[in-house]
Amino acid sequence: MLTVTLGPLTMALNHLLLLAALGIASVVGWWVARRGGESPESALFNLFLVGVVCARIGFVVAYWPMYKDEPLQVIDIRDGGFLFWSGLVGMVLAAGWQGWRQPGLRRPLGWALFSGALFWALASLGGHLYSKGTELPELTLRDASDQPVALHSYRGKPLVINIWATWCPPCRREMPVLQQAQGEYPQVTFLFVNQGETPENVSTFLATTGLSLTHVLFDGTGLLAQRVGSMALPTTLFYDADGRLVGSHLGELSRASLRHGLESFDRAPAPGPAVQGK
């Protein structure tokens, strides 16, 4: 499951876990402060902001060659470009400075950060173990000629599946990035699975925007999105050559965030040696 739907709101599961961790930290910090010390609620919120800013700075620095020609993209966080480790380092340093300046915060803030981090780590680990290695769904979709195409026919090389629709603004904005990637990463198959639209609609969209996509399939009922557990558009999934899920990205892609997602293939474990029959 990649998203959680709360009424009309669809939220990425990892974002929900982060907010839940912040809530738990606030409650624990408030409870500890009742027994002595200062309430850490405002400090926790400030640390959260510091972590977000540092995570973004770390990502931009890591992928600076893809931002330097369009520096305004640095502040466009819609691409979801954040590095966990740089955010964590920023939070730890800021928490140490806050505790040094305000001794009354040390105990409540320490317990708050410990409880929030413990919840987030355990929940994220559970989600990671559940989703990693998930197999490519056994589905048959349709191509522009209304011919059946099995998703499993794309096994054999790394596969990026983009779930999209022409009426989705973030989908439209990221299409040039994905089209360019088709030529830059020939070792990877890019598959575009349209949700609920006709081939005529999509052909008109591609013609009017000047886009050329090599692999386009049609999912009239949205079954693929249901199988992978994402009700958000766009959703991009990264499968290794054996059809195992190694990464995902919810929302708009930039060149940098796409490159970050493609690095999932480098981190994926290599397949074991084939066993020769006797």
The pLDDT tens digits for 164-175 are 999 999 999 999
> What's the whole-model pTM score?
0.85
Q: What is the mean pLDDT of residues 62-82?
A: 90
256, part of any domain? yes
Q: Please provide the average confidence, as pLDDT, over all residues in the chain.
A: 88
124 and 144 belong to one structural domain: no
109 and 33 belong to one structural domain: yes
169 and 70 belong to one structural domain: no
Q: What is the pLDDT of residue 35?
A: 83
2, part of any domain? no
Q: What is the mean pLDDT of residues 200-220?
A: 92
Which among 107, 131, 155 is the end of a domain? 131
11 and 110 belong to one structural domain: yes
Could you report the per-residue pLDDT of 96-133, keeping only the tens digit for each?
A: 999 899 999 999 999 999 999 999 889 887 776 666 65
Q: What is the pLDDT of residue 132?
A: 60
145 and 255 belong to one structural domain: yes
Determine whether 153 is exposed, middle or buried from the number of CB atoms within 10 Å of its CB (0-12, 13-18, 19+).
exposed
- Is residue 261 within 8 Å of residue 236, measured between CB atoms? yes
274, part of any domain? no
* Count of beta carbons in the 10 Å neighbourhood of residue 130: 11
Which among 131, 164, 191 is the end of a domain? 131
Two tokens at 76? 């466009």
Closest CA to 154 of 193, 114, 191, 109: 191
Place of tokens 């330097």: 68
124 and 146 belong to one structural domain: no
Number of domains in the chain: 2
151 and 254 belong to one structural domain: yes
153, part of any domain? yes
- Phi–psi pair at 216, nearest 5 degrees: -125, 125
Cα 82 → chain centroid? 10
Q: What is the pLDDT of residue 269?
A: 52
211, part of any domain? yes
111 and 157 belong to one structural domain: no
Exposure b/e, 222-232, CB count within 10 A at least 16 = b: eebbeebbbbb
30 and 124 belong to one structural domain: yes
276, part of any domain? no
CATH of residue 225's domain is 3.40.30.10
Domain holding 127, by residue range, is 7-131
277, part of any domain? no
Q: Could you tell me the pLDDT band of residue 276, with boundaries at 50, 70 and 90?
A: very low
Place of tokens 């779930």: 163
156 and 231 belong to one structural domain: yes
Q: What is the pLDDT of residue 16?
A: 84
Q: What is the pLDDT of residue 257?
A: 94
Q: What is the mean pLDDT of residues 235-256?
A: 92
92, part of any domain? yes
Q: What is the pLDDT of residue 275?
A: 40
122 and 185 belong to one structural domain: no
Two tokens at 253? 């892609």
Could you report the per-residue pLDDT of 15-32, keeping only the tens digit for each?
A: 888 889 999 999 999 999
167 and 125 belong to one structural domain: no
CA distance 246 to 269: 9
